[in-house]
Amino acid sequence: MRFRFDGTDYEIDLSGKNARSFRKQLAPFIEHARKAGRGPARRAVRTAAGRQRSGDIRAWARAHGVAVSDRGRIPVSVVEQYQAAARGR
């Protein structure tokens, strides 16, 4: 069973009897509660390895005359060219 309390997620394995008891204990509170939304979506976290890979792709692209911006998403076509070149080594 999973539940959240004070912003922390919990998970516990309960027998059928204990699960019923747990639900019974929470019932008075749930009865007066309202369902909450899922909250704001989290942004993907950039890792050092991801930044390094992006830098490597941009450097490769420039060295091979492929136009690529200094920031933002690298076009899939450029990534595919980089991967094809890496496989061909």
CATH 4.10.320.10 for the 48-87 domain, yes or no: yes
Provide mean pLDDT across the span 2-29. Answer: 91
Provide mean pLDDT across the span 60-72. Answer: 94
Q: Give the model's pLDDT for residue 84.
A: 94
Neighbours of 73 (CB within 10 A): 9
Provide mean pLDDT across the span 65-72. Answer: 93
Tell me the pLDDT tens digit for each residue of 25-39: 999 999 999 888 776
DSSP, res 65? T
Provide mean pLDDT across the span 57-68. Answer: 95
Parallel, antiparallel, or unpaired for β 2-5 and 8-11?
antiparallel
H or E element: which one contains 64? none
| Domain assignments of the chain as residue spans, ordered by start | 48-87
pLDDT of residue 81 exceeding 90 = yes
